[in-house]
Chain A
């Protein structure tokens, strides 16, 4: 999709034309001007954003129609053009109005939101859905009688000859004729504007800006503007490709839900913590297609392995066992321990199943079978809990009471942030952990702040975070170095896995909003305050992580970093997931 834009960067008129030429339409005052567009050279009031977006669409529609219907004879219309006046395009609203009035745009296909006329600019008329009627702009010299032929003569060729030449990019040969034959416009305040065909990069910038503008509108409860912007976003998103389009689609979908209060009840789409078979499937796909979860598991396992050195009886508590994918590798490492494996006990915590199936037991059985294969003494207990705060220390106790005490490790992969949705739950969990006195408490969390009080801040953070995530999914599409597996792995599933998190962060509030990610620094503070000391992860864990990435097909963009004893995995310069380890502070 190409659009015409005056290139305000190079055109001498951009921003430099004296504002006195437009007495009736005061240029937007400096305070209200939207900052991002101002950086590009356009001055648009933030409050007019939706209106401007609307008009831009109309303009494009008009130009497209003009380009399509290019068979009309040209010559008689040229006489009408010399009187046209160019307007300073940096005042985008006014410029759009003048363009549209000349083109006599048909009713726009999208019902425009009823916009109250901006109080300080009386020349604007509200756009009606039945017909576009602009009050005759006192400055505009467009003759209403010209309007009937305007559509067929092509896009805005009267306003500037170069703008018609831009439509060459889209139109057929007809518009070429028009462009070459157009009469030189009369000397005007601003010279002819060179036109830049919008490239996808610029569209991408506009897309991001539209997303942020929509989020801001939502925060300000300006739902009409938000609604218009959401439609604009989906249009812009279709011009993008790949990761950007997918991210924009998920975010705009989530915004739409928030706007229309379409918060579905706790279910598979909005609540990522639902432990149903669909969520399992998505989780598995995400595990397979990108290294984040494997990184989490292997680094946590290394820390646990080192903490268990020399212990004959070990107990691992997994705060979110899901499919138990983390434990086979640890069992194998323990089996190969010099001196032989310890006797191993696993407590797997999981939410209750909607269909009453005993998924926890099934996972336990599978792990037991695995352990039997490699001859590790294995015991399993499943704990069903709606929330981690429901776990009491006695549930984790060692009931057999043999001579040798158990060494306990507690493991939490992306389970703690959900506790922040309800006050007091995290503290309860800390308290329980302190009672159990584990040798090590391994914690993996997303490295992002998606829990700030301001919706706009959350939205912005999440947009950057998930854009990077989707980029990494896109980037790891490289050719596999290992023997081919049946078909390409299904990225769609992984994207949906991430999409559910996006929906939750953007569309939910209160206790429903469970994806309350916080940064490593924030978690560090919480842990210190709760009475935990950090355990440095060590070079073995770092080397394991580096090896994982080296083995991982398409691993070029991934980066492992060490930060004060914690390990993070990210895509290029952005860290996305962090592993840390803790122990109870010595009394």
Chain B
């Protein structure tokens, strides 16, 4: 996918949002600004987690993009202390075990104390713990002798 340069995408997104309001009142066939996928992706890639969550509720197209694993990988790595392994190594393991979005939502987000949006780096131990939890959760959900055993509330 071609990536537009960041400055043009941000300016186009701001002009698109103002035009979107006009579009809504004018009853156009598509109330959402007609951003191409690339541009929308670029915008969302820079959004924070709450925005991504909200964006996923807009439409199915937005949802698909907001839930893109690459975006969530970036979210996780944004605050990632070095784990010591190569990124592709991490990616293959995490994708196999359910993906970065699941990792974030189920195991990293609960550690953020408030929803103030204050960015905070996760420590190595928190990352390792969340990865361990992801593994256990995945293993628990695998069909097997015990069948599907849902992960408990307390992780």
Q: Give me the interface of A with B, judged by CB distance under 8 Å.
A: 280-281, 284, 288-291, 294, 298, 301, 323-325, 328-329, 331-333, 335-338, 340, 359, 362-363, 365-367, 369-370, 373-375, 476, 480-486, 488-489, 540, 543-544, 546-548, 550-555
Q: How far is the CB of A312 from chain B (nearest CB, A)?
A: 17
Contact A373 B97 (CB under 8 A): yes
Distance of A335 Cα from B133 Cα, bound (Å):
15
Contact of A547 among B125, B145, B154 (CB under 8 A): B125
Distance of A370 Cα from B135 Cα, bound (Å):
9
Distance of A333 Cα from B93 Cα, bound (Å):
10
Q: How far is the CB of B150 from chain A (nearest CB, A)?
A: 6
Distance of A560 Cα from B96 Cα, bound (Å):
32
Residues on B with C-beta less than 8 A from A335 are 89, 93
Known contacts A323-B146, A333-B132, A551-B133; is-contact A328 B154 (Cβ 8 Å): no
Which of B27-35, B40-48, B102-110 interfaces with chain A? B102-110
Residues on B with C-beta less than 8 A from A489 are 152-154
Distance of A329 Cα from B107 Cα, bound (Å):
14
Contact B93 A482 (CB under 8 A): no
Q: Could you list 10 further interchain pairs (A-B, Cβ under 8 angstroms) beyond the known A333-B132, A373-B96, A482-B155?
A: A284-B146, A284-B149, A288-B149, A329-B136, A485-B150, A489-B152, A547-B126, A547-B128, A551-B107, A551-B133
Known contacts A288-B154, A337-B85; is-contact A547 B139 (Cβ 8 Å): no
B71-102 CB mask vs A (1 if < 8 Å, else 0) is 00000000000011110011011001100000
User: How many chain B residues touch the partner (CB < 8 A)?
Assistant: 42
Q: How far is the CB of A359 from chain B (nearest CB, A)?
A: 6
Instruction: Find the A residue at minimum CB distance from B108.
Output: A551
Residues on B with C-beta less than 8 A from A301 are 132
Residues on A with C-beta less than 8 A from B54 are none
B131 close to chain A: CB less than 8 A: yes
Contact of A332 among B125, B132, B144, B150 (CB under 8 A): B132
Known contacts A336-B90, A338-B84, A366-B139; is-contact A323 B145 (Cβ 8 Å): yes
User: Can you pick out 27 interface pairs between chain A and chain B where the beta carbons lie within 8 Å of each other?
Assistant: A288-B154, A294-B136, A294-B155, A301-B132, A325-B136, A325-B140, A328-B139, A331-B135, A333-B131, A336-B85, A336-B131, A337-B85, A338-B85, A340-B89, A362-B145, A363-B144, A363-B145, A365-B144, A367-B139, A369-B142, A370-B138, A374-B93, A374-B96, A374-B97, A480-B153, A550-B111, A552-B154
Q: How far is the CB of A304 from chain B (nearest CB, A)?
A: 13
Instruction: Find the A residue at minimum CB distance from B151.
Output: A485
Contact A359 B145 (CB under 8 A): yes
Contact B110 A289 (CB under 8 A): no
Q: Which of A367, A546, A551 has the most CB of B within 10 A?
A: A551
B129 close to chain A: CB less than 8 A: yes
Instruction: Find the B residue at minimum CB distance from A290.
Output: B154
Contact A547 B153 (CB under 8 A): no
Contact A332 B154 (CB under 8 A): no
A-B contact count (CB 8 A): 132
Distance of A498 Cα from B112 Cα, bound (Å):
33
Distance of A340 Cα from B92 Cα, bound (Å):
12
Instruction: Find the A residue at minimum CB distance from B83.
Output: A336
Contact B153 A482 (CB under 8 A): yes
Contact of A486 among B83, B96, B142, B150 (CB under 8 A): B150
The 4 closest A-B pairs by CB, nearest first: A288-B152, A329-B132, A480-B153, A328-B139
Q: How far is the CB of B95 from chain A (nearest CB, A)?
A: 10
Contact B129 A485 (CB under 8 A): no
Contact A553 B153 (CB under 8 A): yes
Residues on B with C-beta less than 8 A from A324 are 139
Residues on A with C-beta less than 8 A from B130 are 551
Instruction: Find the A residue at minimum CB distance from B129.
Output: A547
Residues on B with C-beta less than 8 A from A340 are 89
Residues on B with C-beta less than 8 A from A540 are 125
Contact A328 B138 (CB under 8 A): yes
Instruction: Find the B residue at minimum CB distance from A363.
Output: B145
Instruction: Find the B residue at minimum CB distance from A367.
Output: B139
Instruction: Find the A residue at minimum CB distance from B112.
Output: A481
Distance of A338 Cα from B89 Cα, bound (Å):
9
Residues on A with C-beta less than 8 A from B83 are 336
Contact B153 A488 (CB under 8 A): yes
Distance of A290 Cα from B83 Cα, bound (Å):
28
Q: Which of A365, A367, A550 has the most CB of B within 10 A?
A: A550
Distance of A484 Cα from B106 Cα, bound (Å):
10
Residues on A with C-beta less than 8 A from B136 are 294, 325, 328-329
Q: How far is the CB of A228 from chain B (nearest CB, A)?
A: 41
Contact B151 A288 (CB under 8 A): yes
Instruction: Find the A residue at minimum CB distance from B122.
Output: A547
Distance of A338 Cα from B90 Cα, bound (Å):
10
Contact of B105 among A288, A373, A483 (CB under 8 A): A483
Contact B111 A553 (CB under 8 A): no
Residues on B with C-beta less than 8 A from A547 are 123, 125-126, 128-129
Residues on B with C-beta less than 8 A from A288 are 149, 151-152, 154
Contact of A362 among B93, B107, B144, B150 (CB under 8 A): B144
Residues on B with C-beta less than 8 A from A481 are 110
Known contacts A298-B132, A481-B110; is-contact A370 B142 (Cβ 8 Å): yes
Distance of A281 Cα from B147 Cα, bound (Å):
11
